Amino acid sequence: MTEANQLVAVKSWPQRIADTILDQCREDGYHDYPLERWAYVPGMLLMAMGRAGKQLNDERYYSFMHRHMDHFIAEDGSISTYTLEEYNLDQINQGKNLFMQYERTGDERYAKAAHTLAAQLISQPRTTAGGFWHKKVYPFQMWLDGLYMASPFLAEYARTFDRPELMDETAHQLILVESKTRDKRTGLLYHAWDEAIEQDWADSVTGQASNFWSRAMGWYAMAMVDCLEHFPVAHPKRGTIIGLFERMCHALVRVQDPASGLWYQVLDQGARKGNYLEASGSIMFVYAMAKGLRLGYLSGVFRAPMLKGWEGIVRELVTEDERGVHLHRICQGAGLSHDRNGTFDYYISEPVVSDHYMGIGPLLLAALEIERLTN
């Protein structure tokens, strides 16, 4: 397929995906899922729908996000089902939607809710070098996942409320975790790092986890590009982060499957028995590269691998029927703990599912970025 044909083919994808989300949530009941609790996966889905509403000029998509967010935000700006003292970075992610709500309505309760989430990050437990613990119950651990959950929120908060010291904090978190998790041989990033070297999954010398999980690097890739969008051009760490982002993308292209254009669940072990081409990580890489190209953070050499990745997603992972767009081969979830040891066998043992919002949310985000870049 030529690039010109690819561009035509993707133009309608955002609307098709967003309409599927509306239809499926209507069938399941708008007030059941994703409204069970304030959490990072529904928060990402709502963010994708809010962006779709703005980009496609379709109020239905924005209203979907707004209505679901308002289920949690009380008149005094407090957030239902959220507890600051958990110090859980995952709980920051849904707060990214507050900025669009505040911009559109001027309602101070959204600002108050954002101030609460920022207060958590300002007082978040930290490593000795100042890195945010992923959760209070995960002491001295930095996870790549957490950079996506918290850093873009903090960067947008810093810009919205003129808190330049928090932009500095955002830069510090992004650069620190890269320095602690990067493998010099491959350029890939390990899932997490335990400064205390207490966890079963942590290397006894480096504290690093033992494998390169696709979605963990996907979270971090999206975090970098989403944060950079808010950095002032003259910020002293902006160029460093752009350089780290491009270096990381080169490492990702080196492990991209040449036949499908996708990426494996365990990134550097594609030929190993049991490994598989995974949807969410592949989609996140395409999103990050497309946005990086659009905003000028990446050189043009990434355009071909990005488009190859998008074509592979559509060809290998997506189907359509009368119920809409379906996404397959999504790792349902993975983490690191006493019973989740971070080995290759662990990562390939987690359930693989279809149509989970863990994949559908990034799919809509990627489709929107592809459309913006190619139009």
* Structure tokens that stand for 7 in this block: 């561009």
Q: Over 90: is that where the pLDDT of 1 sits?
A: no
Is 28 an annotated catalytic residue? no
What are the phi and psi torsion angles at 227 (to 5°)? -70, -45
Given the residues 58, 70, 76, 145, the one annotated as active site: 145
Query: Reduced to 3 states, what is the DSSP secondary structure of residue 11?
Result: coil
Locate the domains of the chain by residue range.
3-29+126-374
User: Of all helices (H) and strands (E), which one includes residue 319?
Assistant: strand 318-321
- 126-139 pLDDT, tens per residue? 999 999 999 999 99
User: Of all helices (H) and strands (E), which one includes residue 143?
Assistant: strand 141-143
| Mean pLDDT, rounded, for 330-355 | 97
Q: Over 50: is that where the pLDDT of 2 sits?
A: no
The count of other CB atoms within 10 Å of the CB of residue 341 is: 15
* Structure tokens that stand for 324 in this block: 């809409």
Angle at 82 between CA 76 and CA 86, to 5 degrees: 130
Which one has a higher pLDDT value, 212 or 35?
212
Per-residue pLDDT, 29: 55
Residue 27 — very low, low, confident or very high, per pLDDT cuts 50/70/90? low
Class of domain 3-29+126-374: mainly alpha
| Mean pLDDT, rounded, for 148-167 | 98
* Structure tokens that stand for 54 in this block: 């703005």
Per-residue pLDDT, 37: 86
- 179-190 pLDDT, tens per residue? 999 999 999 999
Type of residue numbered 247: R
Residue 24 — very low, low, confident or very high, per pLDDT cuts 50/70/90? confident
Instruction: Please give the Cα distance from 189 to 353 (Å, whole number).
Output: 25
Query: What percent of the chain shows pLDDT beyond 90?
Result: 92
DSSP 8-state symbol, 131 = P
